[in-house]
Amino acid sequence: MEVFLFYSIPYFYGMILTETSQLPSIPRRIISLVPSQTALLHTLGLEEETIGITRFCIHPAAWFSGKTRIGGTKALDIETITGLAPDLIIANKEENVKEQVEALAAHFPVWVTDVNNYNDALQMIGDIGALTGKTAEANALVCSIDAAFKQWQPVDPPIPTAYLIWKNPYMTIGGDTFISDMLLKAGFQNVFAHLKRYPEITVEQLRQSQCTLVLLSSEPYPFAKKHIQELQLALPGVRIKLANGEMFSWYGSHLLKSPESINVCIRTCCQ
Protein backbone atom coordinates (compact mmCIF):
# COMPACT_ATOMS: atom_id res chain seq x y z
CA MET A 1 0.00 0.00 0.00
CA GLU A 2 2.78 2.36 -0.99
CA VAL A 3 2.09 5.99 -1.74
CA PHE A 4 4.38 7.54 -4.32
CA LEU A 5 4.84 10.56 -6.56
CA PHE A 6 4.66 10.31 -10.34
CA TYR A 7 6.31 12.28 -13.07
CA SER A 8 5.01 13.41 -16.48
CA ILE A 9 6.67 12.64 -19.79
CA PRO A 10 5.67 13.82 -23.29
CA TYR A 11 2.25 12.68 -24.43
CA PHE A 12 3.38 10.91 -27.59
CA TYR A 13 5.38 8.53 -25.40
CA GLY A 14 2.54 8.26 -22.91
CA MET A 15 2.39 10.12 -19.62
CA ILE A 16 1.11 10.34 -16.08
CA LEU A 17 -1.74 12.79 -16.57
CA THR A 18 -1.88 15.68 -14.12
CA GLU A 19 -4.94 17.44 -15.58
CA THR A 20 -8.13 15.93 -16.98
CA SER A 21 -7.75 18.23 -20.01
CA GLN A 22 -4.51 16.57 -21.13
CA LEU A 23 -6.20 13.79 -23.11
CA PRO A 24 -6.54 14.90 -26.76
CA SER A 25 -9.90 13.11 -27.14
CA ILE A 26 -12.45 11.07 -25.19
CA PRO A 27 -10.92 7.62 -24.59
CA ARG A 28 -12.42 4.59 -26.32
CA ARG A 29 -10.11 1.88 -24.94
CA ILE A 30 -9.95 2.11 -21.15
CA ILE A 31 -8.18 -0.25 -18.76
CA SER A 32 -8.95 -0.12 -15.03
CA LEU A 33 -6.37 -1.32 -12.51
CA VAL A 34 -8.58 -0.86 -9.42
CA PRO A 35 -11.78 -2.78 -8.50
CA SER A 36 -13.73 0.15 -7.05
CA GLN A 37 -12.91 2.31 -10.06
CA THR A 38 -13.98 -0.48 -12.41
CA ALA A 39 -17.38 -0.49 -10.71
CA LEU A 40 -17.49 3.29 -11.19
CA LEU A 41 -16.81 2.96 -14.94
CA HIS A 42 -19.77 0.58 -15.15
CA THR A 43 -22.04 2.99 -13.29
CA LEU A 44 -21.01 5.77 -15.68
CA GLY A 45 -22.10 3.64 -18.63
CA LEU A 46 -18.67 2.83 -20.07
CA GLU A 47 -19.46 -0.74 -21.08
CA GLU A 48 -17.99 -0.61 -24.58
CA GLU A 49 -15.07 1.64 -23.70
CA THR A 50 -13.74 -0.51 -20.84
CA ILE A 51 -11.60 -3.26 -22.40
CA GLY A 52 -9.50 -4.59 -19.52
CA ILE A 53 -9.82 -5.11 -15.76
CA THR A 54 -7.91 -6.89 -12.98
CA ARG A 55 -8.75 -10.30 -11.59
CA PHE A 56 -9.94 -8.57 -8.44
CA CYS A 57 -12.52 -6.44 -10.30
CA ILE A 58 -15.47 -8.61 -9.30
CA HIS A 59 -18.17 -5.97 -9.87
CA PRO A 60 -20.13 -6.02 -12.06
CA ALA A 61 -20.31 -9.81 -12.46
CA ALA A 62 -20.82 -9.59 -16.23
CA TRP A 63 -17.58 -7.63 -16.60
CA PHE A 64 -15.72 -10.02 -14.32
CA SER A 65 -16.68 -12.94 -16.54
CA GLY A 66 -16.52 -11.14 -19.87
CA LYS A 67 -13.75 -8.53 -19.85
CA THR A 68 -10.08 -9.26 -20.54
CA ARG A 69 -8.12 -9.84 -17.29
CA ILE A 70 -4.86 -7.95 -17.05
CA GLY A 71 -3.40 -9.52 -13.88
CA GLY A 72 -3.75 -8.43 -10.27
CA THR A 73 -3.62 -4.93 -8.85
CA LYS A 74 0.00 -5.42 -7.76
CA ALA A 75 1.03 -7.93 -10.43
CA LEU A 76 -0.07 -6.43 -13.73
CA ASP A 77 0.30 -8.36 -16.98
CA ILE A 78 2.18 -5.69 -18.92
CA GLU A 79 2.25 -7.76 -22.12
CA THR A 80 -1.52 -8.21 -22.16
CA ILE A 81 -2.09 -4.53 -21.41
CA THR A 82 0.26 -3.53 -24.22
CA GLY A 83 -1.54 -5.82 -26.63
CA LEU A 84 -4.87 -4.16 -25.81
CA ALA A 85 -3.45 -0.77 -26.87
CA PRO A 86 -5.40 1.34 -24.34
CA ASP A 87 -5.88 5.07 -24.79
CA LEU A 88 -6.41 5.51 -21.03
CA ILE A 89 -5.28 3.49 -18.02
CA ILE A 90 -6.81 4.33 -14.63
CA ALA A 91 -4.60 3.45 -11.64
CA ASN A 92 -4.36 4.30 -7.95
CA LYS A 93 -1.36 5.40 -5.90
CA GLU A 94 -2.08 2.95 -3.12
CA GLU A 95 -3.45 -0.06 -4.97
CA ASN A 96 -0.88 -0.31 -7.75
CA VAL A 97 2.90 -0.67 -7.85
CA LYS A 98 4.85 2.45 -8.77
CA GLU A 99 7.32 0.79 -11.12
CA GLN A 100 4.60 -1.04 -13.05
CA VAL A 101 2.51 2.10 -13.48
CA GLU A 102 5.53 4.11 -14.61
CA ALA A 103 6.40 1.38 -17.14
CA LEU A 104 2.91 1.65 -18.60
CA ALA A 105 3.07 5.45 -18.59
CA ALA A 106 6.05 5.31 -20.91
CA HIS A 107 3.68 4.12 -23.64
CA PHE A 108 0.11 4.99 -22.63
CA PRO A 109 -1.68 7.87 -20.86
CA VAL A 110 -2.29 6.98 -17.21
CA TRP A 111 -4.55 8.70 -14.70
CA VAL A 112 -3.54 7.99 -11.08
CA THR A 113 -6.12 8.58 -8.36
CA ASP A 114 -5.28 9.32 -4.72
CA VAL A 115 -8.21 8.76 -2.36
CA ASN A 116 -7.62 9.26 1.35
CA ASN A 117 -11.04 10.48 2.50
CA TYR A 118 -14.66 10.98 1.47
CA ASN A 119 -14.06 14.32 -0.26
CA ASP A 120 -11.19 12.80 -2.25
CA ALA A 121 -13.58 10.08 -3.41
CA LEU A 122 -16.11 12.61 -4.71
CA GLN A 123 -13.31 14.48 -6.48
CA MET A 124 -12.12 11.22 -8.05
CA ILE A 125 -15.60 10.52 -9.43
CA GLY A 126 -15.74 13.97 -10.99
CA ASP A 127 -12.26 13.62 -12.47
CA ILE A 128 -12.99 10.26 -14.09
CA GLY A 129 -16.26 11.64 -15.43
CA ALA A 130 -14.36 14.53 -17.03
CA LEU A 131 -11.73 12.20 -18.49
CA THR A 132 -14.26 9.84 -20.06
CA GLY A 133 -16.84 12.28 -21.39
CA LYS A 134 -19.29 11.42 -18.62
CA THR A 135 -19.29 14.69 -16.67
CA ALA A 136 -23.07 14.91 -16.36
CA GLU A 137 -23.36 11.31 -15.16
CA ALA A 138 -20.51 11.77 -12.67
CA ASN A 139 -21.99 14.98 -11.28
CA ALA A 140 -25.38 13.28 -10.83
CA LEU A 141 -23.70 10.39 -9.03
CA VAL A 142 -21.81 12.74 -6.71
CA CYS A 143 -25.07 14.55 -5.86
CA SER A 144 -26.82 11.25 -5.09
CA ILE A 145 -23.97 10.04 -2.89
CA ASP A 146 -23.75 13.33 -1.02
CA ALA A 147 -27.51 13.36 -0.43
CA ALA A 148 -27.36 9.84 1.01
CA PHE A 149 -24.50 10.75 3.35
CA LYS A 150 -26.20 13.94 4.55
CA GLN A 151 -29.17 11.85 5.72
CA TRP A 152 -26.90 9.42 7.55
CA GLN A 153 -27.15 9.37 11.34
CA PRO A 154 -23.85 8.27 12.93
CA VAL A 155 -23.56 6.42 16.21
CA ASP A 156 -23.68 8.81 19.16
CA PRO A 157 -21.67 8.69 21.33
CA PRO A 158 -18.89 7.34 19.10
CA ILE A 159 -17.75 3.75 19.70
CA PRO A 160 -13.99 3.26 20.29
CA THR A 161 -13.21 0.85 17.46
CA ALA A 162 -10.29 -1.11 16.04
CA TYR A 163 -10.65 -2.08 12.37
CA LEU A 164 -8.47 -5.02 11.30
CA ILE A 165 -7.57 -5.67 7.67
CA TRP A 166 -4.98 -8.45 8.02
CA LYS A 167 -3.90 -11.38 10.16
CA ASN A 168 -0.43 -12.81 10.84
CA PRO A 169 0.48 -10.13 11.61
CA TYR A 170 -2.60 -8.16 12.56
CA MET A 171 -2.81 -4.90 10.64
CA THR A 172 -5.14 -1.97 11.19
CA ILE A 173 -5.83 1.40 9.58
CA GLY A 174 -4.36 4.76 10.53
CA GLY A 175 -6.15 8.07 10.71
CA ASP A 176 -4.95 9.20 7.27
CA THR A 177 -6.89 6.53 5.33
CA PHE A 178 -10.19 6.46 3.47
CA ILE A 179 -11.42 3.65 5.74
CA SER A 180 -10.75 5.71 8.85
CA ASP A 181 -12.77 8.60 7.40
CA MET A 182 -15.66 6.22 6.69
CA LEU A 183 -15.50 4.89 10.25
CA LEU A 184 -15.62 8.45 11.56
CA LYS A 185 -18.68 9.27 9.46
CA ALA A 186 -20.42 6.19 10.86
CA GLY A 187 -19.65 7.10 14.46
CA PHE A 188 -16.85 4.59 15.01
CA GLN A 189 -13.87 6.22 16.72
CA ASN A 190 -10.68 4.75 15.25
CA VAL A 191 -8.51 3.97 18.28
CA PHE A 192 -5.44 3.85 16.03
CA ALA A 193 -6.11 7.17 14.31
CA HIS A 194 -2.81 8.50 15.68
CA LEU A 195 -0.94 6.04 13.44
CA LYS A 196 -0.27 6.33 9.70
CA ARG A 197 -1.54 4.22 6.81
CA TYR A 198 -1.70 0.47 7.62
CA PRO A 199 0.43 -0.38 10.66
CA GLU A 200 1.07 -3.79 12.13
CA ILE A 201 -0.26 -4.17 15.66
CA THR A 202 -0.23 -6.80 18.40
CA VAL A 203 -2.99 -8.23 20.53
CA GLU A 204 -1.44 -6.41 23.47
CA GLN A 205 -1.81 -3.10 21.61
CA LEU A 206 -5.46 -3.96 21.01
CA ARG A 207 -5.89 -4.51 24.75
CA GLN A 208 -4.20 -1.23 25.57
CA SER A 209 -6.17 0.75 22.97
CA GLN A 210 -9.30 0.61 25.15
CA CYS A 211 -11.41 -0.28 22.14
CA THR A 212 -14.86 -1.64 22.96
CA LEU A 213 -15.42 -2.95 19.43
CA VAL A 214 -13.22 -4.75 16.91
CA LEU A 215 -14.35 -4.93 13.28
CA LEU A 216 -12.83 -7.70 11.17
CA SER A 217 -12.90 -6.67 7.53
CA SER A 218 -13.86 -9.13 4.80
CA GLU A 219 -10.96 -7.83 2.71
CA PRO A 220 -8.12 -7.84 1.93
CA TYR A 221 -7.85 -10.64 4.51
CA PRO A 222 -10.98 -12.83 4.43
CA PHE A 223 -11.84 -12.75 8.13
CA ALA A 224 -14.54 -15.25 9.12
CA LYS A 225 -16.44 -16.37 12.24
CA LYS A 226 -13.58 -18.63 13.35
CA HIS A 227 -11.35 -15.57 13.66
CA ILE A 228 -13.85 -13.93 16.00
CA GLN A 229 -13.56 -16.92 18.32
CA GLU A 230 -9.75 -16.83 18.23
CA LEU A 231 -9.55 -13.13 19.05
CA GLN A 232 -12.35 -13.20 21.61
CA LEU A 233 -10.24 -15.40 23.88
CA ALA A 234 -7.59 -12.67 23.97
CA LEU A 235 -10.07 -9.79 24.27
CA PRO A 236 -12.78 -10.78 26.74
CA GLY A 237 -15.46 -8.13 27.11
CA VAL A 238 -14.74 -6.58 23.70
CA ARG A 239 -17.39 -6.96 20.98
CA ILE A 240 -15.90 -8.48 17.83
CA LYS A 241 -17.89 -8.36 14.60
CA LEU A 242 -17.36 -9.07 10.91
CA ALA A 243 -17.56 -6.09 8.57
CA ASN A 244 -18.19 -5.86 4.82
CA GLY A 245 -14.89 -4.43 3.65
CA GLU A 246 -16.35 -3.19 0.36
CA MET A 247 -18.64 -0.79 2.18
CA PHE A 248 -15.81 0.76 4.18
CA SER A 249 -13.01 0.74 1.59
CA TRP A 250 -14.50 0.93 -1.92
CA TYR A 251 -14.64 4.52 -3.11
CA GLY A 252 -16.64 5.35 -6.23
CA SER A 253 -20.19 4.28 -7.03
CA HIS A 254 -20.15 1.80 -4.14
CA LEU A 255 -20.57 4.84 -1.90
CA LEU A 256 -24.24 4.91 -2.91
CA LYS A 257 -24.71 1.69 -0.94
CA SER A 258 -22.41 2.46 1.96
CA PRO A 259 -24.74 4.36 4.35
CA GLU A 260 -27.46 1.70 4.23
CA SER A 261 -25.03 -1.22 4.46
CA ILE A 262 -22.98 0.33 7.25
CA ASN A 263 -26.20 1.06 9.13
CA VAL A 264 -26.77 -2.70 9.19
CA CYS A 265 -23.30 -3.06 10.67
CA ILE A 266 -24.11 -0.38 13.24
CA ARG A 267 -27.31 -2.13 14.32
CA THR A 268 -25.46 -5.43 14.66
CA CYS A 269 -22.69 -3.85 16.69
CA CYS A 270 -25.07 -2.04 19.01
CA GLN A 271 -27.14 -5.10 19.88
- Condensed to tens digits (0 to 9), the pLDDT of residues 154-171 reads 888 999 999 999 999 999
| Tens digit of each residue's pLDDT (9 = 90 or more) over 65-87 | 999 999 999 999 999 999 999 99
Q: What is the pLDDT of residue 86?
A: 97
H or E, element range at 139 = helix 135-150
State yes or no: pLDDT of 8 exceeds 80: no
Percentage with pLDDT > 90 across the chain: 86
Q: How confident is the model at residue 6 (pLDDT cuts 50, 70, 90)?
A: very low
Q: What is the pLDDT of residue 271?
A: 65
Residue 66: exposure state from Cβ atoms within 10 A (0-12, 13-18, ≥19): exposed
State yes or no: pLDDT of 12 exceeds 80: no
Q: What is the pLDDT of residue 57?
A: 95
Asked if the bond preceding 109 is cis, omega within 30° of 0, the reply is no
State yes or no: pLDDT of 183 exceeds 50: yes
The residues with which 243 forms a beta bridge, in sequence order, are 217
**Rounded mean pLDDT of the chain?**
92
Residue 55: exposure state from Cβ atoms within 10 A (0-12, 13-18, ≥19): middle
Entry pTM: 0.90
State yes or no: pLDDT of 10 exceeds 50: no
